[in-house]
C-alpha cells in the first residue's frame, strides 16, 4: 500500500455493490477494514462506491438516463450508469490520479441472467456472449480504467455458480420467477438440468475469460491488474443458491427474499421513471436472490486480500540435488521467503532409513550442513483395491518448518 491513506474506488454491478447485504457485510467494506488491520502503516481507507445492481459493462452503449435518487440507489437493478460510464463520470474526490485501488467486476448483466437461466439457451450461445463481454468488453473497460486512473492497482472479481447439482430443485421455479419475472413456468426435468449446466458453464468460462482478459492487459500495459476468484476460497457449487449450506441468497417458499435490506420504495420510484424501462418492480423487490450472502461476501474479501497481502510461504532448496543414495553425503537445505527472498531460519525434519529399511528421524536447522548416508526404506501402505497392507519402497524426505509459514515437504530423490 502506498502510504497512510489509501483511496479505494468500487465500480461494477450488483455482486461488487453487495446486493442485499448490510454495509459491514459487503466485501468491499471487509477489505476497507482489513487493509489497515493488516498493514499498520495505513491509517485510513477512503472508499467511493459507484457500483450498482444491474450495471452492464456497456462497451459501445451511449444511453445515459437521468440519475436515480431514492436510496438505496445501488439496490435497484438497472443497466445505467454502465460500468464504463461509472469510470468516465468519476471526477472525485479523490482526484483520479490519487486513486490507489480499484475493485471492479462486470459481464454477467451483458451476458444476461435471462440467458443463463434460460434452458433453451445453449452453452454454445453462452460461450459467444461470454467471449464478447467477459473477455472483449472487459479488456475495453480495463484500458479505460488504466487511462483514467494512472496510479491505481486494479483487482477484477469474478462470478460463481448460481445453481448447482446440489441445489434444491423444488424451489427452482420460484427462484426463476424471482430472478427473471417469468410467472407460471413449470420446469420439466431436462429444463432444470440445462439450467444447472448453464450456471456451471457461466461460472467456469466467465472466470477463465476474465482471467485471460486481465492477464493479457497486465502484460500489455505493465500495470498491476489482478483477478480475484472466490471459487478458490470456498464459493463453489456446494455453496450455490438453494443448497444445504448456501453462500448465496435464495428465495423463501412464500416468495419473500432472504435478505433484510429495505429497497421497496427505491424500487417503486425507479419502476415509475419513464426513462427506466429496464426496471421490474417484482424482480427489484427480490433482487438479492442469487447474490452472495455474508459468507459468500467473506469469500470474495479473502480472495482480494490474498492478492493485496500474499500469504507467507517458503521456497526451499536442497544441495546437492538430487541427494545421492547409499553413500556418505553432506547436504544443506536452505529456505527463503517466497515473496521477499529473505533467508528464513527453520528446522528440517528428516525421515531416513537404516540398513534394514527401518525409518530414522533426525532434526537440524536450515542453512547448516548435515552429513549422513541416505537410503530407501520400506513402509506399510494400505491398498484400497486389494484391501490389505503392503510394503512399499519409499525414498528419504524432509519437512521444513518455520514460524509463520506453512510447512514445506522436501523430496530428496526425483
Compute φ and ψ for 183, nearest 5 degrees. Answer: -95, 140
- How much is the average pLDDT of 191-211? 96
* Residue 383, pLDDT above cutoff 80: no
Cα distance between residue 246 and residue 83, in whole Å: 28
**Domain extent listing, the chain:** 5-308, 314-411
Q: Give the angle subtended at the CA of 338 by the CAs of 332 and 343, to the nearest 5°.
A: 45
* pLDDT confidence band for 413 (50 / 70 / 90): low
* Residue 334, pLDDT above cutoff 90: yes
User: 336-377: per-residue pLDDT in tens?
Assistant: 988 788 899 999 999 999 888 888 999 999 999 999 999 988
Kindly report the CATH number that applies to the domain delimited by 5-308: 3.40.50.1110
Looking at the chain, the number of H-run helices and the number of E-run strands are 12, 14
- The mean of the pLDDT values for the chain is 92
* Helix or strand run (H / E) with residue 54: none
pTM of the predicted protein model:
0.79
* pLDDT confidence band for 185 (50 / 70 / 90): low
Cα distance between residue 140 and residue 136, in whole Å: 7
Cα distance between residue 148 and residue 153, in whole Å: 12
| pLDDT for 183 | 54
Task: Specify the pairing of strand 44-49 against strand 5-11.
Answer: parallel
Mention the CATH class of domain 314-411: mainly beta
From the CB of residue 210, how many other CB atoms can be counted at a distance below 10 Å?
A: 26
* pLDDT confidence band for 182 (50 / 70 / 90): low
User: 21-75: per-residue pLDDT in tens?
Assistant: 999 999 999 999 999 999 989 999 999 999 999 999 999 898 889 889 899 999 9
Amino acid at each position: 500500500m502506498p502510504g497512510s491513506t489509501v483511496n479505494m474506488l468500487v465500480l461494477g454491478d450488483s455482486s461488487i455493490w453487495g446486493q442485499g447485504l448490510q454495509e459491514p457485510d459487503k466485501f468491499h467494506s471487509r477489505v476497507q477494514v482489513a487493509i489497515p488491520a493488516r498493514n499498520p502503516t495505513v491509517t485510513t481507507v477512503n472508499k467511493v462506491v459507484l457500483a450498482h445492481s444491474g450495471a452492464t459493462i456497456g462497451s459501445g452503449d451511449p444511453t445515459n438516463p437521468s440519475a436515480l435518487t431514492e436510496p438505496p440507489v445501488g439496490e435497484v437493478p438497472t443497466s445505467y450508469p454502465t460500468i464504463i460510464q461509472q469510470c468516465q463520470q468519476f471526477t472525485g474526490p479523490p482526484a483520479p490520479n490519487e486513486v490507489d485501488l480499484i475493485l471492479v467486476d462486470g459481464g454477467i448483466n451483458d451476458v444476461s441472467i435471462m440467458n443463463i437461466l434460460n434452458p433453451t439457451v445453449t452453452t454454445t450461445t453462452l460461450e459467444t456472449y461470454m467471449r464478447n463481454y467477459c473477455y472483449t468488453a472487459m479488456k475495453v473497460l480495463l484500458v479505460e480504467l488504466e487511462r483514467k486512473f494512472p496510479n491505481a492497482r486494479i483487482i477484477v472479481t469474478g462470478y460463481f455458480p448460481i445453481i448447482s447439482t446440489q441445489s434444491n430443485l423444488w424451489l427452482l421455479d420460484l427462484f426463476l420467477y424471482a430472478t427473471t419475472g417469468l410467472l407460471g413456468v413449470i420446469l420439466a426435468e431436462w429444463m432444470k438440468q440445462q439450467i444447472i449446466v448453464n450456471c456451471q458453464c457461466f461460472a467456469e468460462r466467465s472466470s477463465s475469460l476474465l482471467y485471460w482478459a486481465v492477464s493479457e492487459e497486465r502484460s500489455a500495459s505493465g500495470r498491476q491488474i489482478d483477478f480475484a476468484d472466490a471459487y478458490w476460497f470456498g464459493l463453489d457449487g456446494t455453496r450455490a443458491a438453494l443448497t444445504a449450506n448456501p453462500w448465496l441468497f435464495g428465495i423463501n417458499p412464500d416468495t419473500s427474499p432472504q435478505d433484510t435490506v429495505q429497497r421497496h420504495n427505491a424500487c417503486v420510484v425507479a419502476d415509475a421513471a419513464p426513462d427506466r424501462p429496464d426496471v421490474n418492480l417484482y424482480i427489484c423487490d427480490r433482487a438479492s436472490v442469487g447474490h452472495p450472502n455474508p459468507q459468500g461476501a467473506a469469500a470474495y474479501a479473502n480472495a482480494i486480500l490474498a492478492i493485496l497481502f500474499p500469504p507467507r510461504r517458503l521456497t526451499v532448496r536442497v544441495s546437492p540435488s538430487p541427494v545421492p543414495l547409499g553413500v556418505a553425503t553432506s547436504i544443506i537445505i536452505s529456505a527463503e521467503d517466497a515473496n521477499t527472498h529473505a533467508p528464513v531460519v527453520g528446522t528440517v525434519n528428516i525421515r531416513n532409513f537404516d540398513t534394514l529399511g527401518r525409518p530414522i528421524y533426525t532434526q537440524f536447522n536450515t542453512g547448516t550442513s548435515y552429513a549422513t548416508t541416505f537410503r530407501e526404506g520400506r513402509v506399510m501402505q494400505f491398498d484400497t483395491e486389494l484391501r490389505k497392507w503392503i510394503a512399499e519402497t519409499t525414498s528419504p524426505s524432509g519437512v521444513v518448518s518455520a514460524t509463520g509459514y506453512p510447512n514445506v515437504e522436501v523430496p530428496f530423490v526425483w
